Structures are given as structure tokens and as C-alpha cells.
Amino acid sequence: MRIAMIGTGYVGLVSGACFSEFGTNVVCVDKDATKIENLKRGQMPIFEPGLSDLVANNVRAGRLSFSGDLKPAVAGAGAVFIAVGTPSRRGDGHADLSYVFAAAEEIAHALSGYTVIVTKSTVPVGTGRQVADVIAKARPDLMLGRDFDVVSNPEFLREGSAISDFMRPDRVVIGTMSNADRARAVMRELYRPLYLSETPVLFTKIETSELIKYAANCFLATKITFINEIADLCEAVGADVQEVSNGIGLDGRIGKKFLHAGPGYGGSCFPKDCMALIRTARETGTPITIVETVSAINDARKLKMADRVESAMGGSLTCKRLAVLGLTFKPNTDDMRDSPSLAIVPALVSKGAVVRVYDPEGMDEARKVIGDVEWASDTYDALDGADGVVFITEWNEFRSLDWARVAKLMRGRVVVDLRNIYAPDRVADAGFTYHSLGRASVSPQ
């Protein structure tokens, strides 16, 4: 079977490359001509571990190609995946579906023969049926022979481990409308390699599938926010949040993951998906107030992080030199969308700090969205002459700094670790005052 992937971003490119690795012929389409030209030359538009090799191998095998032209890619394809962005709509927080509907309309005009149109983008409940309406309106002729089905197949991959998440997912969710045996058979065929590895494949109603994605992301955002508030309480009562996390996470009903205190969740999914679920729930008269609270707490938390840095630096940041390590919303990606650094760094600058930043992969993206800072060439360059250092993203290379070298480079001795990547005593032993989240601050003896 040949499939078309419309939208060659984080999800489209990884999914397209992985499907081709499964043995399917895939054409990845994007309206961004530069992205397609670069991909044809073997240049990846994003940083994702292992992606470059995966793409190169499948291009070489003749199973994966890139095109700016949607029509030939869609015509005759067995399935067409919509993997375009669904950002927050300005003003009301609803998912902006304009890219999805524009793609659906374009796809409709290119369809020939029975095709399954799959929404892989994260879309609110009801969107699949709206996509079907868009296609039916554009191509009434297709309705006669029921020449298409619309299916929801949300993506759960995480940036930074996207390939293994796609190849070895916890589950695959496929939502269909009624009488969709043909569509289910196509989807089963595409995911056949995962059946062999006994991955649970859930077939649901289309509305259920659409909601599963939002419920999953909002639950995870809630879990993060819960431990963040517990971290604040730990500080007030002298408890240690790492130990509390461990103590509750070992309970199989709770689980260890997503229980790390931090500066607030960010990224291209959790903030916007929480907002969209809040909108959907309100519009249907069934508000989900827990997610509304989570979203508000998280927004406020990011800003509070700058106050923490200020107090760690003795109550004023005026003319203080700060090294900021890590800008992306998490390690192993170059994605800056809704990163906590976008709230924290400008707040530090507005409090009077001179901020020198470094991120292993996010510098190019960061330059587009962060101003009024100095750009360091590496970790130690960022630390040179600093009065304090702030860790915002837990990149591995920040986890094992040469503290003797850091001490020689830095002017001051303050460390603010917003990811709890160090054991407090280790940093204090190197002569620094160490502040983290949900744990007591420690000064050198």
C-alpha cells in the first residue's frame, strides 16, 4: 500500500518515516517548499534522535519520498494522514482547525479510488465528522460509491524519543464511524507490524478516539501540576519532593512517571491541548474544572520561577549576570513551543539581569523567539563571569558539569536548579549555594 502524509512536521515526518520502516510506501507532503527541498537533500527540519538515519535508509530503499505537490501523492493512495498543526486559536484557546480543514479540502479534490482519510493531528471531538463533511461537500461524487472513510488515529509520540514511541507504542487508538469495516481493515494492515509485537490496538468510535488523546494529555499535565504543588508544600514543611515522588510513584496505581517537580509543563501539546479541552467542555456545558485549575496554576508557576531566582540571588537581579542552561521545553528536541524558558528568561531580563543563554540543540529556534540576551557558544562559555546559574532544561550534558572548572569561571556561587538534576550536597561541596524545587537549599559548609 502507498500512503500520503500531509504535514511533515514533528509528527508527520516521524510517522511517515516509521511507516516506511514498517514496509509501507510513504510520500510526505508539506506546503513549506524549503522544508521539502531540504528533506530531499537529506537535511532534517527538526532535531530528533535517530531521525536522520531512519529517513536516509528508507529514502535509499525507495519507500519514502518528499513532495510539495499534494495531488499526485493523494491520488491512488490507500490512506492519507492529516498531520498538520492544530495550535491554540488566538483569543479563545480553542484548537485552530483551519489547517486541518484546508488540508481536507485539498485532499478531497485529489482523491481517486477508495481512500481512508486519517486525522493524526490532535483534534477536538467532532472534528472527524466535520472533516467528512468538508470532503463530502467538495466531492459529492465520492458519496455515491462511499469512496472514502474518515478515521481518527491520534499520535502519542513524545519529542526526543519519537521514533521508539512510534515503533513501540503503549497502544494504538483507531476511531471510526459506523459501517467502517473497510477502513478498519486498511488501518489494521498499516499497523500490522505492531500486531506482531502484541501492541494493544483499540478500535473505538471516532468521538472516543478524539477524546482519548485530550484526556491523556490533560491527565499527564494534571499529574505534573500535582507534584509541582506538592514540591511547594515540601519546601514549606521541610520535606523532600524527590522522596515523596518515589514514595507515591512506587504505588502501582500512581506510577513513577510524570512525577518530577519542575518549572511548569510546556511544549507544543500540553498547554494547547488543555486549553482546547477546556473550551470543548465548556461549550458542551460540562466544564472540566480540574483542567482549568491545572492550566491556571501552570501559567502562574512559570512566572514564579523568576521570583525564585531573584530571591536566590539575594533579592535583586539588577545588573546580576546569569547563565541560563537549557531553553527547549525538554531535552533531546529543538522545540521551543511554549517552553517555560519563554516566560522565565524575559522575566529575568525585566528584573534587570544580564542573561547569557545556552542550549545544546535549541539555539536556532530560541533566537527566533527570545531577545535581549547574550548567546553563548557552549555550556562553559555561558558560565563565564556569571553570578548565578539557572538550569531550565535537564539536558544530559548539564548533569555532569566539572564543578571545579565552573568555580573558576563563575564570579558568583549561586545555583538555581529548576529540574532537580543534582544531589544538593554534591553542588554545595563544590562551594556553591544550591537551590532546587521541593528540597531544602544547601550552602557550602
Ligand X SMILES: NC(=O)c1ccc[n+]([C@@H]2O[C@H](COP(=O)([O-])OP(=O)(O)OC[C@H]3O[C@@H](n4cnc5c(N)ncnc54)[C@H](O)[C@@H]3O)[C@@H](O)[C@H]2O)c1
Regarding 102 and contact with ligand X (CB under 6 A), the answer is: yes
- Tell me whether residue 269 or residue 442 sits nearer to ligand X (CB atom): 269
C-alpha–C-alpha distance, residues 328 and 312, integer Å: 23
- Tell me whether residue 395 or residue 432 sits nearer to ligand X (CB atom): 395
Helix (H) / strand (E) element for 37: namely: helix 33-40
Regarding 143 and contact with ligand X (CB under 6 A), the answer is: no
C-alpha distances (whole Å) from 259 to each of 62, 229, 231, 265, 278 are 43, 11, 10, 12, 23
Among 5, 74, 142, 157, binds ligand X (CB under 6 A): 157
Cell for 236? 514549606
Regarding 61 and contact with ligand X (CB under 6 A), the answer is: no
Regarding 103 and contact with ligand X (CB under 6 A), the answer is: yes
Piece of 79-87, 178-186, 243-251, 405-413 that binds ligand X (CB under 6 A): 79-87
C-alpha–C-alpha distance, residues 366 and 337, integer Å: 9
C-alpha–C-alpha distance, residues 151 and 187, integer Å: 9
Give the relative orientation of helices 270-283 and 289-312 as an angle to the nearest 10 degrees: 150
- Tell me whether residue 29 or residue 406 sits nearer to ligand X (CB atom): 29
Regarding 99 and contact with ligand X (CB under 6 A), the answer is: yes
Among 4, 6, 406, 428, binds ligand X (CB under 6 A): 6
- Tell me whether residue 11 or residue 186 sits nearer to ligand X (CB atom): 11
Among 3, 4, 7, 163, binds ligand X (CB under 6 A): 7
- Tell me whether residue 31 or residue 367 sits nearer to ligand X (CB atom): 31
Among 3, 4, 11, 116, binds ligand X (CB under 6 A): 11
Piece of 23-31, 229-237, 256-264, 300-308 that binds ligand X (CB under 6 A): 23-31
> Is 269 an active-site residue?
yes
Nearest residue relative to ligand X (C-beta): 9
CB of 281 to ligand X, least distance (A): 18
C-alpha–C-alpha distance, residues 370 and 361, integer Å: 15
C-alpha–C-alpha distance, residues 423 and 425, integer Å: 6
Query: Residues binding ligand X: what is the number (CB under 6 A)?
Result: 27
Among 20, 25, 121, 225, binds ligand X (CB under 6 A): 121
Regarding 116 and contact with ligand X (CB under 6 A), the answer is: no
Nearest to 64 by CA among 99, 94, 25, 15: 25
Cell for 247? 514514595
CA dihedral over 157, 158, 159, 165, signed as positive or negative: negative
How are beta strands 172-176 and 201-205 bridged, if at all?
Answer: parallel
Among 3, 4, 5, 10, binds ligand X (CB under 6 A): 10
- The catalytic position among 18, 28, 269, 274 is 269
CA dihedral over 115, 120, 121, 126, signed as positive or negative: positive
SS3 322: strand
Regarding 12 and contact with ligand X (CB under 6 A), the answer is: yes
CB of 329 to ligand X, least distance (A): 10
Binders in 268-297 for ligand X, by CB under 6 A? 268-269
C-alpha distances (whole Å) from 47 to each of 242, 311, 313 are 30, 35, 34
**Residue found under cell 538550569:** 391
Interface ranges with ligand X (CB under 6 A): 6-12, 29-32, 35, 83-86, 99, 102-103, 106, 121-122, 155, 157, 159, 268-269
Catalytic machinery residues: 269
